[in-house]
Amino acid sequence: MIDLSAERLYSNLLMISTNPESGPLPADMFTMCFSDGWSIVDNLWRLNLLLRRTPGLERTPNVEVHLRALRAVEKFRHGFQHLDEKIAACAREQLPLWGTLGWAFFPNGPTRSCRIFLMVPGSLRPMTWPFLNPAGKTIASTVDLVTLSAFGQELKLSSLVGRVRALIAGLDQGLRRSTAGQPGGGADVLISAEFVPGLSEDPGKAV
């Protein structure tokens, strides 16, 4: 789920980045981007809880480093989960309820010039916008340094998604080794049955 939301978010941010002056964005573009951003936050927190409670999980130093990084999403996740409690403060401090979403676009590679973007939902208001500074940062993709800022804090989504991909790849290899030799079966099965009215006295019988 994290990977799906991240890929969809990066794809939309890339589309915005390559056509920054092509006219108004689609009406639902802000909604899609922030929906995927906050979905990543929610699923990162859920993954953190699942991994910490997984029986038999080998807590290697590398796994512990990733788990500590995942805990950084706690305040973000809880803040958005209880958004009703944040409305008054956001209104008083003139902060966007969804937060802001920033990223860097490197069309010609990480060593060349880049363009910085910031999505600010809702009405414009006088405030200092949290623009990114890519200097000295490690760049892994054309769209990178995706950062969600909310409740006076920022969360580096690109970094966390990268950690999760590395963590899951390692866990997957470990699970394959630990289950080697055990009976296998199908996965991700879709089952369908056709019901035709009037052809059977048993209304639950598939034909």
Model pTM score:
0.77
Q: Quick check: is 204 in a domain?
A: no
Tens-binned pLDDT, residue by residue, of the chain (207 aa): 888 999 999 999 999 998 766 667 888 999 999 999 999 999 998 888 888 888 777 777 888 888 888 888 888 887 777 666 667 776 676 666 778 999 999 988 888 889 999 998 876 666 677 788 888 888 989 999 999 988 778 889 998 998 888 888 777 665 666 556 666 666 678 788 888 886 656 655 554
Q: Quick check: is 199 in a domain?
A: no
> Between 2-18 and 29-52, two packed helices, what is the crossing angle to 10 degrees?
150
Question: To which H or E segment does residue 36 belong?
Answer: helix 29-52
Q: Quick check: is 196 in a domain?
A: no
Q: Quick check: is 163 in a domain?
A: yes
Q: Quick check: is 89 in a domain?
A: yes
What's the CA gap between 139 and 110, in Å, rounded?
6
Domain count, the chain: 1
What's the CA gap between 62 and 184, in Å, rounded?
29
CA-based angle 91:70:147, to the nearest 5? 50
**CB–CB of 59/81 below 8 Å?**
no
**CB–CB of 9/31 below 8 Å?**
no
Q: By C-alpha distance, which of 37, 30, 29 is closest to 7?
A: 37
Q: Quick check: is 149 in a domain?
A: yes
Q: Check residue 22 and give left, alpha or beta (phi > 0: left; psi -120 to 50: alpha).
A: alpha
Q: Quick check: is 137 in a domain?
A: yes
- The range of the structural domain enclosing residue 169 comes to 2-178
Question: To which H or E segment does residue 39 belong?
Answer: helix 29-52
Q: Quick check: is 38 in a domain?
A: yes
